[in-house]
Homo-oligomer: A and B are copies of this chain.
Amino acid sequence: MTIKEVCEKYDITADTLRYYERVGVIPTVTRTAGGIRDYQESDIGWVENAICFRDAGMPVEMLIEYVRLFQEGDSTIDARAALLKEARETIIEAKKKYDIALEKLDYKIGRYEIAQKTGELTWD
């Protein structure tokens, strides 16, 4: 799979894909004889995970650390498991904050809907 196809599949720019590889968010991608990226299933898997975790707000630095540990081999299994658990806690905390904001928003939106119906605004 070419870089272009991966871009289109995941709606991400080629620059970002190359950046992820360069800094180590994903391991080095397979190349053709000519040196052109030719994404294999496993490369795609890393890309998918990277995008998924970045979308959940995980810092690039954490993904780099995970890849680094992964490449170090089986001796880092505990460290990787710990990293993943930490990431889970972070995401759960972030989600709580999103829920609080949603509550606040729903309350405000409700107030605005009353204001729009009555033409009166009596707060905030």
Residue pair B55, A116 in contact (C-beta under 8 Å): no
Residue pair A78, B116 in contact (C-beta under 8 Å): yes
Residue pair A92, B102 in contact (C-beta under 8 Å): yes
- Which secondary structure dominates chain A's binding surface? helix
Question: What mask results when residues 71 to 83 of chain A are scored 1 for a CB within 8 Å of chain B, else 0?
Answer: 0001001101100
Give the oligomeric copy count: 2
Residue pair A112, B77 in contact (C-beta under 8 Å): yes
The answer to whether residues A84 and B97 also contact, given A91-B102, A121-B77 and a CB cut-off of 8 A, is no
A residues at B contact (CB < 8 Å): 49, 52-53, 55-58, 70, 74, 77-78, 80-81, 84-85, 87-88, 91-92, 94-95, 97-102, 104-106, 108-109, 112-113, 115-116, 121, 124
